[in-house]
């Protein structure tokens, strides 16, 4: 078993030309401690749970995705602009490389959902998603088409207190790759962006079934998140597998 690569708040450079880019804005990072034994069965073959302070972690993360480009194209109108809500885990491969594993991703653009599923086998779900910002609160909502029981309503606000030199925040957010299973192989796809600008945040309200649907009942509504962060966002570039 290889040593785990260290966490860095600065992304390593992509190898070769970026294949796509996206702007991620107004992100709310909600995270709960969970046992690694809960996480392990949900990971693609060849991966093990990544652990911080004796725990693995599950994230519920809403944000706005826009200004999407492909191979240097202009931003894609409409289909490249939507609210996303994802449930994600953290994993390590046999070489010690870290990355994100998505359990589900809610998005309102059917074409984007189908493309991500076809190209990268990412578990995107077609949902009615939206964001309303009022009185300093970010109010995200998502309801899955044809499965209204899978929904999330998240209300959070930034405290304006900046986060710096925080090992847990880096563990949860400084992730420069995702793992996915494509045609029977677990692959790692890289991304690159400037270091996160992070702020402490408060969870005002949460009504969520996505965590339970992902395999983590008993979190939303019964346990407060162990970490709540906000970021105004970054522009992200994607590379090929490494």
The stretch 11-19 carries a mean pLDDT of 91
In a domain, 7, yes or no: no
pLDDT beyond 90 at 4: yes
In a domain, 10, yes or no: no
Cβ proximity of 41 and 222 under 8 Å: no
In a domain, 11, yes or no: no
Residue 158: other Cβ atoms inside 10 A: 21
In a domain, 38, yes or no: yes
Cβ proximity of 86 and 106 under 8 Å: yes
What is the C-alpha to C-alpha distance for residues 212 and 228, in angstroms, rounded to an integer? 19
Residue 242: other Cβ atoms inside 10 A: 14
Q: Work out the pLDDT band at 1, boundaries 50, 70, 90.
A: low
* % pLDDT > 90, the chain: 87
Of 39-53, 73-87, 202-216, where does mean pLDDT reach its minimum?
Answer: 73-87
The stretch 6-35 carries a mean pLDDT of 95
Q: Work out the pLDDT band at 241, boundaries 50, 70, 90.
A: low
In a domain, 24, yes or no: yes
Here the tokens at position 205 are 């309200």
Strands 147-162 and 48-49: unpaired
pLDDT tens string 133-147: 999 999 999 999 999
pLDDT beyond 80 at 2: no
Residues sharing a CB contact under 8 Å with residue 118, sequence separation 6 or more, in sequence order: none
Here the tokens at position 21 are 């880019």
pLDDT at res. 200 = 98
CATH number at residue 236: 2.40.400.10
| pTM higher than the cut 0.75 | yes
pLDDT at res. 114 = 95
What is the C-alpha to C-alpha distance for residues 242 and 229, in angstroms, rounded to an integer? 29
Q: How many domains would you assign to the chain? A: 1
In a domain, 5, yes or no: no
Q: Work out the pLDDT band at 221, boundaries 50, 70, 90.
A: confident
């Amino acid at each position: 078993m290889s040593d785990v690569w260290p966490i860095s708040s600065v992304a390593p450079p992509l190898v070769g030309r970026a294949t796509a880019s996206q702007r991620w804005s107004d992100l709310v990072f909600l995270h709960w401690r969970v046992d690694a034994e809960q996480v392990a069965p949900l990971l693609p073959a060849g991966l093990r749970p990544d652990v911080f302070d004796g725990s693995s972690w599950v994230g519920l993360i809403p944000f706005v995705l826009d200004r999407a480009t492909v191979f240097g194209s202009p931003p894609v109108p409409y289909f490249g602009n939507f609210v996303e809500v994802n449930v994600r885990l953290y994993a390590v491969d046999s070489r010690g490389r870290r990355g994100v594993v998505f359990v589900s991703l809610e998005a309102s653009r059917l074409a984007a959902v189908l493309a991500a599923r076809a190209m990268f086998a990412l578990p995107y779900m077609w949902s009615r998603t939206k964001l309303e910002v009022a009185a300093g609160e970010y109010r995200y909502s998502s309801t899955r088409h044809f499965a209204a029981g899978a929904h999330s309503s998240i209300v959070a606000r930034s405290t304006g207190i900046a986060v710096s030199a925080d090992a847990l925040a880096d563990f949860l957010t400084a992730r420069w790759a995702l793992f996915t299973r494509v045609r029977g192989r677990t692959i790692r796809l890289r991304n690159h962006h400037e270091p996160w600008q992070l702020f402490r945040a408060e969870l005002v309200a949460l009504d969520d079934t996505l965590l339970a649907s992902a395999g983590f009942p008993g979190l939303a509504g019964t346990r407060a998140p162990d970490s709540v962060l906000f970021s105004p966002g970054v522009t992200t570039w994607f590379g090929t597998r490494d």
